[in-house]
Structure 1
Amino acid sequence: MTAAVSAPARPCPVAPGDLCDFRDLGGFPDLSGKVGPVSVVQCRRCGHGVSLPPLADVAFLYAGRATQDFRQDGSRLGHAIKNVAFRRQARALLAQLPARPARVLDFGCGSGQFTRCLDDELGPGMVTGSDFETSPPADLTGRSYVPAGALAPLAGSFDCVLAMHVLEHDDDAAGLLGRIAAMARPGGILVIEVPNSECAWLKVFGKAWDAWYLPYHRSHFSRRSLRALVEQGGHTVLALHPATVPTMGRSLSNLVGGNKGLTWLLAGIGLHPLQVAGERLTGRPSALRIIARVGG
Structure 2
Amino acid sequence: MICLGDGSEACQYISLGKFLDRSGKVDHVEVVRCLRCGHGVSLPPLPNVAFLYQDRESQDFQPDAKGLSHEIKDIAFRSQARKLLRQAGGARGTILDFGCGSGQFTRVLGEMVGSASEVIGADMHSEPPAELAERPYLGPEELGSRKDSFDIVIALHVLEHDDDADGLLRTISGYARHGGKVVIEVPNVDCVWARIFGKFWDAWYLPYHRHHFTRNSLVRLMQRNGLQIESVHGVTVPTMGRSFADIAGGTNNLFWLLLGILAHPLQVLGEVLTRNSSAIRVIAVRK
Cα distance in 1, alignment partners of residues 4 and 162 from structure 2: 19
The match for 1:283 is: 275
The one-letter code sitting in structure 2 at the alignment partner of 1:222 is T
The sequence identity of aligned pairs, in percent, is 53
AA paired with 1:229?
L
Distance in 2 separating the partners of 1:184 and 1:284: 29
| Structure 1 portions without partners, runs of 5+ | 1-9
With 62-71 and 238-247 compared, the bigger mean Cα shift is at 62-71
Q: How far does the alpha carbon of each residue in 1:6-40 deviate from its partner, in whole angstroms, 9 at most, with x for none? A: xxxx2112244211111100001111111120100
User: What is the TM-score with the length of structure 2 in the denominator?
Assistant: 0.97
| Within-5 A mapping of 1:200-219 | 200-219=192-211
Matched, 1:40 2:53: no
Give the counterpart of 2:11 among 20, 26, 44.
20
2:39–2:213 contact (8 Å) kept in structure 1: yes
Secondary structure at 1:55's aligned position in 2?
coil
Contact 2:57 2:63 in 1 (8 A): no
Give the residue type in structure 2 aligned to 1:128.
Answer: I
Secondary structure of 1:27's counterpart equals strand
Residue 275 of structure 1: how far off its partner (Å): 0.3
Say which SS state the counterpart of residue 61 (structure 2) adopts.
coil
Q: Give the deviation of 1:105 after TM superposition.
A: 0.2
Q: Which residue of 1 aligns with 2:154?
A: 162
Asked whether 1:84 is paired with 2:59, we answer no
Match of 2:263 among 246, 266, 271: 271
Letter in 1 for 2:49: V
Q: Give, as a single letter, the amino acid of the residue that structure 2 aligns with 1:291.
A: I
What is the RMSD computed on CA atoms of the aligned residues?
1.1
- Using the alignment, how far apart are the partners of 2:225 and 2:181 within structure 1? 14
State the one-letter code of the partner of 1:153.
S
Q: Which residue of 1 aligns with 2:50?
A: 59
d(CA) in 2 for partners of 1:74, 1:227: 32
Determine if contact 2:192/2:276 at 8 Å carries over to the other structure: yes
- Gaps spanning 5+ residues in structure 2: where? none
**Counterpart of 2:254?**
262
- Quote the offset at 1:44 in angstroms: 1.5
Amino acid at match of 1:13: L
Question: Which residue of structure 1 lines up, in the alignment, with residue 190 of structure 2?
Answer: 198
Q: Distance in 2 between matches of 1:63 and 1:142?
A: 22
Equivalent residue, structure 2, for 1:228: 220
Residue-by-residue CA offset, 1:31-87 (whole Å, 9 max, x unaligned): 111112010000112110000000110000011101011133353100000001101
CA distance in 2, matches of 1:148, 1:184: 16
Partner Cα separation in structure 1 for residue 275 and residue 189 of structure 2: 13
CA distance in 1, matches of 2:175, 2:7: 30
Q: 1:98 aligns with which of 89, 98, 101?
A: 89
> Which shows bigger deviation, 148-157 or 49-58?
148-157
TM-score w.r.t. length of structure 1: 0.94
Q: Deviations over 1:240-275 (max 9, x none)?
A: 100011000000110110110000000111111110
Is the CA contact 1:132–1:149 (under 8 Å) kept in the aligned structure 2? no
- For residues 161-192 of structure 1, give each alpha carbon's deviation from its aligned partner in whole angstroms, at most 9, with x where no partner exists: 00000000000010000011110111000000
Kindly indicate whether residue 107 of structure 2 is the aligned counterpart of residue 116 of structure 1: yes
Letter in 2 for 1:34: K
